[in-house]
Amino acid sequence: MACIIRQLQVAGFDHNLSYLLTAGEDAVLVDPAGELDVIRDALPEKFNPKYILLTHGHPDHAEKTEQVKGFFPAPVLGHPNCGVRGVFPLIDGQTLPIGELGDFVEVLFTPGHSRDSVCYLVNHDQGILTGDTLFVSYVGYGRADALFDSLCRLKKLPGRTIVYPGHDYGATPTSTLEEEKKSNPYFSCTTEEEFTLRLKDLD
Ligand SMILES: [Fe+2]
């Protein structure tokens, strides 16, 4: 398997990050946002636009979806409740193949920041695109009970998995699940009570 994950600093609403995944000629865009020229410039000369994936329907992540189709004509996939017109609804746990060497993205529904939040796990443990569910050193504000359960789900994944967040809020643009377990004061909470109290700091 040989999927390349590129993080794109697209600026946008608030240090937004888009992602370009490539495996062979297949290309996948995640959360097309911000400066579309940054996305256009990152594309290889020859590519097959396979999917546009949305981590959730908040405008700062999804508002450029129609525009990006002008140079990346791919079907848009997201949570059935993401509210984006024309989206193909995903199912929790489904896998999306990329390229011809067995690369794939697994769909994980992670409600909390929003009810339509989705994380995309690449090749078991290569990386996870967390949208606004988990940031480096922070989490996305939202419903504490649902978010805590979703973070517990992420904690069960291999620690070496690289975290690719939807905003560049930390000291580094990426991290690992293991590192976040150690140093992220929200992700490291072990009880829902502790998490709920700490989340109030973010309000
Ligand atoms: Fe959001």
Q: Write out pLDDT tens, residues 112-171.
A: 999 999 999 999 999 999 999 999 999 999 999 999 999 999 999 999 999 999 999 999
CA of 200 to the centre of ligand 1 (A): 17
Q: Write out pLDDT tens, residues 10-36.
A: 999 999 999 999 999 999 999 999 999
pLDDT at 201: 81
Torsion over CA of 37, 58, 163 and 146, rounded to 10 degrees? 180
CA of 141 to the centre of ligand 1 (A): 8
pLDDT at 64: 95
pLDDT at 104: 98
Write down all domains in the chain, each with its CATH number in brackets: 4-135+163-170 (3.60.15.10)
In this prediction, residue 2 has a pLDDT band, given cuts at 50, 70 and 90, of confident
Q: What is the CA radius of gyration of the chain?
A: 16
Within 8 A by CB and 6+ apart from 179, the residues are 163
pLDDT (mean) for 29-55: 97
Q: Write out pLDDT tens, residues 71-125.
A: 999 999 999 999 999 999 999 999 999 999 999 999 999 999 999 999 999 999 9
Question: In terms of DSSP H, where are the helices of 117-157?
Answer: 144-155
pLDDT at 190: 95
CA of 189 to the centre of ligand 1 (A): 21
Q: Which amino acid is residue 122, in one-letter code? A: V
CA of 146 to the centre of ligand 1 (A): 15
CA of 60 to the centre of ligand 1 (A): 7
pLDDT at 160: 98
